[in-house]
Amino acid sequence: MLASATMRRRSFLLTAAAGAGSAAAAQNKPIRPAAVENATPGESPAIVLSQVGFLPDAKKRVIYRMASGEVPPESFTLRDIGAPVKPFSLTRPLVQAPGDVPNCLMGDFSGLTREGFYQITAGDERCAPFFIRADAWRRTLPKAIGYHHAQRCGVGVPNVHPACHLDDARRRDTGEHVDVTGGWHDAGDLRKWMSATMMAGFGILRIARHLGERWDLAGSGLGVLLDEMRWGNRYFLKMQNRDGRVWADTAGGVNGDNSDNHWTDNRIGTADDRYINTAKPAQVQAMFVALQAMVAQAFAQADPSYAKSCLAAGVRCWEATEHPKSTRDLSWRLLAAIELHRATHDARHAAEAAKLGDALAALQVSDYIGSQKKVRGFWGTGGAKPVPYWDAVYSALPPIAMLELAAALPVQANARRWRDSVSLYIDEYAAPMAARSAYGVVPLGLFPGSPTPETYRPLEGELTYRYFMPTRQRSWWLGITSHLESHAVLLAAAAHAFNKPAYRDLAFRQLEWVVGNNPFGACLMTGEGWRNSYPYSRFVGPIAGGIVNGIAGNAQDVPILQMEYGNDWRTGEYWTPHVAFYEWALAQLEAA
Ligand SMILES: [Zn+2]
């Protein structure tokens, strides 16, 4: 007994010592991001829908996600939980949802237009409470605009961070210091990519253009938008080189790494100064021109001399750059020509826009290809070996640009052809593909066969599709929030242009995914809805109005979202384009 007891005591001490050693070692290890590939949806919550709510006249859908082996409920009940004088409820059927999502029931309560605060139950399950009200979406806009304000760089932002990066930055190529202070941090870090942060400008100016003084129901007025735009544009204008062309980023990371992603001592010439990437990519040039031409229009009344100088900067960049060839860059160049025409009414820019529109239209795949007859009208990448175009951020940009062109130059000979190209994209590609999902979301894109060793869903013939980015194609992949929101922009604009309410319904489906109508029941905007994933925002923490990269897919194209505290940037990081496309889409929807 005694020997045995001694032995156990010794074992305990040894174990304790080993445990203490492990703890010490663990303290010195960096926290690694948790594996996200297995962060697939759990069985809860069962009932998901738009947590922002619904407009009274909108199509209203609820999804019931069945657990394995569950006897499906036949109906759902909706109750007004806002303490109405007379209790209000209704019951509707739940039916099997068609498409790719298994074990999914769908309920419709579109006929309910009565404003109120509701909750749905089915069996023992209940959903997040939600509103039906006329300002259900509109009331989220000030929060989105507040996100840009919180991301200001080169100045202290009360309650967010003290003055930062007053020493930005030195050229990577020559080491020369150039004042590029100002602008906005992009994303969950402190870098200032031109492409990503200029998107903030497009979001802000779309709200100003479509909603004007009344954009904020609290009455803050247009000045708030113009002030924020002018702040960001200080930096964009400083990034224009003497040759008229525009640099790619500040602090993007010298070797594609995170080396510049840090706070600095704000003193010029010390070791922690960050670098300017003096590359001049085609996309950045075209975005810069489009943005300056939009700034010129937005400030024409408020500050004519500022408007004039911004337009001049845009024209200088336009004249210093060639027409690009890739589908994405050509789309931006077309938008630039359209906005230059709107700002100047110069027939030369109209002619250039028409020419670019014809070039972009030529990249659309109008025939059935790949031995299938299910879809056509999507865009190809162009080049010697074209494949179907998709982009994690700008996927709906080609038809958006074509629709803008048709609206800007309605009497041009080819205007009907440009409009038809948009109809073809929506009617014969985007809408039929979205019908494959119970949630009504447009899959990310089409593929020729299986280009990488992972799941590609068969469409027909040689074409396959995925809802989410391939994970084995390149070193990075991320959630598809902007892909969906850019389609919301397109569908909202097309609903107006073609007077087709069904496009508007489909636009809302894309946005509803972002605010809770998804297999995780997660709202991807901080400060709205419920079940937010903790954002990857390593320097300032959560920012109200920030929208994360969102739901990605694993190798099996099964949705994944890091809902734990895993510091996963691929699904959890704020990216400015997500906020910008959200603003742009809502501006179009609310203007109609
Ligand atoms: Zn900063």
- Using the mean position of ligand 1's atoms as its centre, give its distance from the Cα of residue 284 in Å: 21
- Using the mean position of ligand 1's atoms as its centre, give its distance from the Cα of residue 270 in Å: 16
Kindly give, in sequence order, each residue whose CB lies less than 8 Å from that of residue 467, ignoring residues fewer than 6 positions away: 100, 437, 441, 443, 444, 480, 553, 557, 559
Residues 150 and 110 placed together within one structural domain of the fold: no
What's the CATH number where 98 sits?
2.60.40.10
**Range of the structural domain that residue 152 is part of:** 137-321
Whole-number Å distance between alpha carbons of 51 and 118: 11
Q: Which contacts (CB < 8 Å, 24+ apart) does range 471-477 have?
A: 471/37, 471/552, 471/553, 471/554, 471/555, 472/555, 476/570, 477/392, 477/552, 477/570
pLDDT in tens, 502-549: 999 999 999 999 999 999 999 999 999 989 888 999 999 999 999 999
Question: Of the candidates 459, 473, 453, 486, which has an alpha carbon nearest to the alpha carbon of residue 584?
Answer: 486
Residues 350 and 413 placed together within one structural domain of the fold: yes
Whole-number Å distance between alpha carbons of 165 and 183: 10
- Using the mean position of ligand 1's atoms as its centre, give its distance from the Cα of residue 154 in Å: 5
Whole-number Å distance between alpha carbons of 52 and 532: 13
Residues 346 and 465 placed together within one structural domain of the fold: yes
Residues 292 and 420 placed together within one structural domain of the fold: no
- Using the mean position of ligand 1's atoms as its centre, give its distance from the Cα of residue 539 in Å: 10
Is residue 182 domain-resident? yes
Question: Cα 89 to the chain's mean position, in Å?
Answer: 36
Give the DSSP letter string of 419-472.
Answer: HHHHHHHIIIIIHHHHTTSTT-PPPSEEEES-SSSS--EEEETTEEEESS--SS
Is residue 378 domain-resident? yes
- Using the mean position of ligand 1's atoms as its centre, give its distance from the Cα of residue 193 in Å: 12
Residues 117 and 264 placed together within one structural domain of the fold: no
- Using the mean position of ligand 1's atoms as its centre, give its distance from the Cα of residue 407 in Å: 39
- Using the mean position of ligand 1's atoms as its centre, give its distance from the Cα of residue 167 in Å: 9
Whole-number Å distance between alpha carbons of 547 and 567: 15
Residues 392 and 307 placed together within one structural domain of the fold: no
Residue type, 232: G
At residue 36, the pLDDT reads 85
Question: Of the candidates 154, 168, 83, which has an alpha carbon nearest to the alpha carbon of residue 117?
Answer: 83
Is residue 527 domain-resident? yes
- Using the mean position of ligand 1's atoms as its centre, give its distance from the Cα of residue 166 in Å: 8
Of 132, 158, 183, the residue that ends a domain is 132
Residues 211 and 344 placed together within one structural domain of the fold: no
Give the DSSP letter string of 518-551.
Answer: STT--B-BTTSSS-PPPPB-TTT---TT-BB---
Residues 309 and 330 placed together within one structural domain of the fold: no
- Using the mean position of ligand 1's atoms as its centre, give its distance from the Cα of residue 185 in Å: 6
- Using the mean position of ligand 1's atoms as its centre, give its distance from the Cα of residue 190 in Å: 6
- Using the mean position of ligand 1's atoms as its centre, give its distance from the Cα of residue 247 in Å: 18
At residue 382, the pLDDT reads 84
- Using the mean position of ligand 1's atoms as its centre, give its distance from the Cα of residue 161 in Å: 9
- Using the mean position of ligand 1's atoms as its centre, give its distance from the Cα of residue 543 in Å: 15
- Using the mean position of ligand 1's atoms as its centre, give its distance from the Cα of residue 192 in Å: 8
Q: What is the pTM of this model?
A: 0.94
Domains contained in the chain, number: 3
- 30-62 CB burial, b ≥16 within 10 A, e <16: eeeeeebeebebeeebbbbbbbbbbbeebbbbb
Q: 462 and 454 in contact (C-beta within 8 Å)?
A: no
Distance between the two ends of the chain, CA-based, in angstroms? 86
Of 301, 321, 341, the residue that ends a domain is 321
- Using the mean position of ligand 1's atoms as its centre, give its distance from the Cα of residue 333 in Å: 29
Is residue 410 domain-resident? yes
At residue 38, the pLDDT reads 87
- Using the mean position of ligand 1's atoms as its centre, give its distance from the Cα of residue 264 in Å: 8
Q: 124 and 521 in contact (C-beta within 8 Å)?
A: no
- Using the mean position of ligand 1's atoms as its centre, give its distance from the Cα of residue 252 in Å: 13
- Give the residues of the chain that fall short of pLDDT 50: 1-21
- Using the mean position of ligand 1's atoms as its centre, give its distance from the Cα of residue 201 in Å: 18
- Helices marked H in 135-246 — which ranges? 141-150, 194-211, 222-238
CA angle 587/363/482 to nearest 5° reads 35
Residues 425 and 545 placed together within one structural domain of the fold: yes
Is residue 480 domain-resident? yes
Q: Which residues pair with 92 in a beta bridge?
A: 76
- Using the mean position of ligand 1's atoms as its centre, give its distance from the Cα of residue 163 in Å: 7
At residue 25, the pLDDT reads 57
- Using the mean position of ligand 1's atoms as its centre, give its distance from the Cα of residue 227 in Å: 18
- Using the mean position of ligand 1's atoms as its centre, give its distance from the Cα of residue 258 in Å: 15
- Using the mean position of ligand 1's atoms as its centre, give its distance from the Cα of residue 213 in Å: 30
SS3 177: strand
1 by Cβ neighbours in 10 Å (0-12 / 13-18 / 19+) ranks as exposed
Protein residues with C-beta less than 5 angstroms from the ion ligand 1: 153, 164-165
- Using the mean position of ligand 1's atoms as its centre, give its distance from the Cα of residue 230 in Å: 17
Residues 451 and 589 placed together within one structural domain of the fold: yes
- Rg of the chain over CA atoms, in angstroms? 26
What's the CATH number where 173 sits?
1.50.10.10
Residues 351 and 451 placed together within one structural domain of the fold: yes
Is residue 536 domain-resident? yes
- Using the mean position of ligand 1's atoms as its centre, give its distance from the Cα of residue 152 in Å: 7
- Using the mean position of ligand 1's atoms as its centre, give its distance from the Cα of residue 197 in Å: 13
Q: 189 and 538 in contact (C-beta within 8 Å)?
A: yes
- Using the mean position of ligand 1's atoms as its centre, give its distance from the Cα of residue 151 in Å: 8
Q: Which residues pair with 64 in a beta bridge?
A: 47, 105
Is residue 5 domain-resident? no
SS3 333: helix
Residues 440 and 554 placed together within one structural domain of the fold: yes
* Residue 79 in tokens: 């109750």
At residue 357, the pLDDT reads 97
Is residue 365 domain-resident? yes
- Using the mean position of ligand 1's atoms as its centre, give its distance from the Cα of residue 540 in Å: 11
pLDDT in tens, 242-277: 999 999 999 998 887 889 999 999 999 999 999 999
- Using the mean position of ligand 1's atoms as its centre, give its distance from the Cα of residue 168 in Å: 8
- Using the mean position of ligand 1's atoms as its centre, give its distance from the Cα of residue 575 in Å: 16
Does the bond joining 488 to the residue before it have cis omega, within 30 degrees of 0?
Answer: no
- Using the mean position of ligand 1's atoms as its centre, give its distance from the Cα of residue 29 in Å: 28
DSSP label at 212? G
Whole-number Å distance between alpha carbons of 359 and 348: 17
Kindly give, in sequence order, each residue whose CB lies less than 8 Å from that of residue 452, ignoring residues fewer than 6 positions away: 470, 472, 473
- Using the mean position of ligand 1's atoms as its centre, give its distance from the Cα of residue 549 in Å: 21
At residue 493, the pLDDT reads 98
Of 284, 301, 321, the residue that ends a domain is 321
